[in-house]
Structure 1
């Protein structure tokens, strides 16, 4: 059964914690079921919770669309969080309320959440959901409606990294990701805020895009043979004869063109209150 409601729901007293919709990443349960159980128990002990295990993208969309007043909380990886934000963005509810996350997974799978300030220990992260405060963060949004929390990487050669989460696999399928090894894609046209950085006759070794906190812009690193450029921009367009990329570690593409734009303060995350 994919949707697991708590047997008992605690009534929320006036001024108490918001009721929660706790979304379990299936990969997190497999990777560290004990941490998932601990986080779930802490959340249940402090707030009225409905716990669900969405197994498809459509089921996740349905749970979020019918959550009522419940605040979405993810127990899982960065890609599980990204999938929830993607669904909320599609439903035009991304900025309606802060979301919570309890990072569970390998260190490389929860790096974005940790970088944003979420505690790595499940009890501390769950308590931040119940007692913490909301902080706004920027978001990268592409022309197809895809969202990126941390960054984008285009490296023409090399093998794609394995997907870390069932939700990541669903997201990759929606984005048209083809399995297997990337073909060499060294010729790209790259524009940042309308400024031409590389054209199709240039060979590109790496394009790294990071989204620093509260900056309102993205940070770009472009490496070509014998040179490297570092700059900031609010929008980025990449075009070429079919290229793949990684968004928050999730392989995407191939596509012929992609434009990312920074949306300042587009979403809010629950973090521990400052001491």
Structure 2
């Protein structure tokens, strides 16, 4: 892992949801970062300004203060503009941050801010689907029941040829949907064909209760299929590979903290060491 000097210039992007959720933690994180490095602080009012700030970061190292959705938004923007490989992200979690903490980001504003200043860059694998969506930690099919924001899929606008419109056109597709009060119905058994590197793990004639895919290490995804049990608990089917294709009738899936679909076919491919996150230095 590559370490950073505290003299690095930081671009601190404070997600608007974080300011409303826990303004005190935001203030503490900003104070710690400003005391240890040269910082430029951005207070975007929404996703479009968030994207504009990230796109104009220059040589500054971006630091996101926000929840898991803010982290996924930043990774998605950088990936879709093919800038992810050369940009190490840092994060101070404020709000729901189970995903970030599972990646090794410290809980708490002070500890996370100190890791930004004194931590090390760790490269991580990424799942990328055939619609250019990303999965940082876990993919689940069918989607678990939730009572949260709308789970409508993200639609990507065609790429604009001029630089100044790139982030503007994309961010409109990433704006949050209105919150739905009704819970997503509990899914029943699904009939899915799951292929790993072209080999069929389970076919449409065998109902399954769940499929999970996680980016492992060295460019390999770990796949687990749980067949429908009619008595004794069925033994999960496991496979690993670089490409996972799922085919079925209008299935939804959970990618990290969001629900997408319905789709009839989707392929995820592992990108080895595709992105970098600043974490506490080892030792």
**Alpha-carbon distance in 2 for matches of 1:175, 1:75:** 18
Provide structure 2 residue ranges, at least 5 long, that are not aligned to the other structure: 155-169
Q: From the superposition, tell whether residues 32 and 56 of structure 1 become closer, same or farther in structure 2 (CA, over 3 Å).
A: closer
Note if contact 1:177-1:253 (Cα within 8 Å) is conserved in structure 2: no
**Count of aligned residue pairs for this structure pair:** 252
Deviations 1:3-61 (A, max 9, x none): xxxxxxxxxxxx65221121222222232221121111111111222222334433232
The equivalent of 2:161 in structure 1 is: none
Does residue 22 in structure 1 map to residue 17 in structure 2? no
Question: Which aligned pairs between 1:51-62 and structure 2 lie closer than 5 A?
Answer: 51-62=41-52
The equivalent of 2:160 in structure 1 is: none
How far is the alpha carbon of 1:230 from its aligned partner? 2.1
Note if contact 2:48-2:172 (Cα within 8 Å) is conserved in structure 1: no
Q: From the superposition, tell whether residues 176 and 40 of structure 1 become closer, same or farther in structure 2 (CA, over 3 Å).
A: closer
Note if contact 1:176-1:253 (Cα within 8 Å) is conserved in structure 2: no
Q: Tell me the SS of whatever aligns to 1:256.
A: strand
Provide structure 1 residue ranges, at least 5 long, that are not aligned to the other structure: 1-14
- Which of 185, 205, 211 is 2:209 aligned to? 205
Q: From the superposition, tell whether residues 209 and 161 of structure 1 become closer, same or farther in structure 2 (CA, over 3 Å).
A: farther
**Alpha-carbon distance in 2 for matches of 1:261, 1:76:** 28
Does residue 253 in structure 1 map to residue 240 in structure 2? no
The equivalent of 2:79 in structure 1 is: 89
The equivalent of 1:65 in structure 2 is: 55
The equivalent of 1:5 in structure 2 is: none
How far is the alpha carbon of 1:161 from its aligned partner? 4.1
Q: Tell me the SS of whatever aligns to 1:99.
A: strand
**Alpha-carbon distance in 1 for matches of 2:265, 2:51:** 27
**Alpha-carbon distance in 2 for matches of 1:66, 1:265:** 24
Note if contact 2:73-2:174 (Cα within 8 Å) is conserved in structure 1: no
TM superposition score normalised by structure 1: 0.82
Q: What RMSD in Å do the two structures reach over aligned CA positions?
A: 2.8
